[in-house]
Amino acid sequence: MAKITTLLFDYDGTLMDTDEIIISAWQYTYKKMTGEELAVGTILRDFGEALRDTMNKYFSGEQLEEAIEIHRVFQTETYLEKIQMFPGTKELVLKLKDMGYKVGIVTSRRKPTTFMGLEKFDLTDTFDCVVTADDTEKHKPDPDPVLFALDALNSRPEEAVMIGDTVMDMGCGKAAGVKIVLATWAQAAQFQKMNVTPDYRINSADELWNVLEALDAE
């Protein structure tokens, strides 16, 4: 097997603990639009999709645009205050970068809030590539976001790994031909039915080193 040179990370639920931010935004939006509650489990099962794709399951036409705007405004107003990084993820990324790995982000989040989070934790210049929902027409689980990142990084699929917490991440990475690692520390990983079998599962950021060691041994 080719030596691993490239690590691609999902953003929400993998690097950044945004579960409660997203859940609150969904509950507020759905209640405002319908007057009813939306179960947390239902929200978590759709984590990882582009917002418009998920919203399209509940609303259409003018209602769809209104719901998207309500969700984005609510989330933006609380985002910087509440966003945190998962334990060990910043240290992991910085060490990978220091060791010479190419590190990238592949997210279904839009560019403005993605970079707001990176700026908060002084990571804006750390990643060699940041692919957001604004960069590709097709989104996870389509392979295009990962393929876009690989092209930008001049990396081949066989030397890359995608790390994420949702079936969307796993499907995207698998379709692009990279190794896929399921990060299990966010809520969404417990609620989603994985119809794609991850190559590895990790329960903490430090466990990625065991994965890289195993891949080097193949």
Q: How far apart are CA 132 and CA 85, in angstroms?
A: 18
> What is the full DSSP assignment across 53-106?
HHHTTT--HHHHHHHHHHHHHHHHHHHHHH-EEPTTHHHHHHHHHHTT-EEEEE
Does residue 10 have an active-site annotation? yes
Backbone angles phi, psi at 53, to 5 degrees: -60, -40
CB-facing half-sphere around the CA of 157: CA atoms within 13 A: 15
- Do 68 and 51 touch, CB atoms closer than 8 A? yes
Of 10, 46, 128, 135, the catalytic one is 10
Catalytic residues: 10
